[in-house]
Structure 1
Amino acid sequence: MDKNKEKTRKNILVRLRRIEGQVRGIQRMMEEEADCMDILTQISAVKSAINQVGIIVFEKHAQECIVKAMDEERQEENLKEIVNMMGRLIK
C-alpha cells in the first residue's frame, strides 16, 4: 500500500473513532435526559462528520475508477460506478 493511501486510511479510521465516541456521547446524553438542543447539536455534528468521511472515501474511489477507466476498455462501466457511488453518498 502506498504511503498516501495508508495516510488516507488512517485519517478515515481516526475520524470514524471520533464519530463513534460522539455517538456514545449522544447515547449518554439521552440516558441523562440532557437538553434537546444540546442533543440535536451533537447529532448534527455526527451527521457532518460522517458526510466528510463519505466524501473522502468517495474521492479516493473516484480517483481510482477514473484511472482505471482511462486504462481499460470498461470506461463506460467504471464511470457509471462513479455516478452510482455519488448517488449513494448524496442520499
Structure 2
Amino acid sequence: MSHTIIGKRKLLTRVRKIKGQTIALENSLEGEPDCMKVLQQIAAIKGGVNGLMKEVLEGHLREHLGAEDMTQLQRTEEVEQVILILKSYLK
C-alpha cells in the first residue's frame, strides 16, 4: 500500500490547513490589509506547502527508492524523476 494512502488523513489535514490559509489571505487582500499580516500569511502558506512536500517526499524516498526489489535501472529512473520534481519545486 502506498505511503500516500497510509498517511492520507495526515496529508489531507495539511492540505486543508493550507487551503484555509490561502482563503484567509484572499479574504484579507479583498479588504485593506496590513502589509505585515499579508507577509505573515504568505510565509505561513509557504511553510505549510514545504511541510507537505517534505512529508510526501520522505515517504516516497523511503518506500520507492528504499525498496530492495528494484533493479538498478528502476532506481536510476526513480532518482531522475525525483530530481526533476525537486528542480521544478525549487525554482
Indicate conservation of the 8 Å contact 1:23/1:46, yes or no. yes
Which segments of 5 or more consecutive residues in structure 1 lack a partner in the other structure?
A: none
The aligned length equals 90
Indicate conservation of the 8 Å contact 1:19/1:50, yes or no. yes
Cα distance per residue 1:35-54 (max 9 Å; x no partner):
11111110110011111101
Alignment of 1:4-83 (within 5 A): 6-68=5-67, 70-74=69-73, 75-83=75-83
CA-atom RMSD in angstroms:
2.3
Whole-Å Cα distance in 1 between the matches of residues 39 and 46 of structure 2?
10
Whole-Å Cα distance in 2 between the matches of residues 52 and 23 of structure 1?
15
Higher RCO (CA < 8 A, seq sep 6+)? 2
Whole-Å Cα distance in 2 between the matches of residues 29 and 44 of structure 1?
14
After superposition, the Cα gap between the structure-2 partners of 1:21 and 1:36, relative to the gap in structure 1 and judged at 3 Å, is same
- Give the superposition deviation at 1:82: 2.7
Once the two structures are aligned, what percentage of the paired residues are identical?
27
TM-score norm. by structure 1 comes to 0.79
Which segments of 5 or more consecutive residues in structure 2 lack a partner in the other structure?
A: none
1:82 counterpart SS class = helix
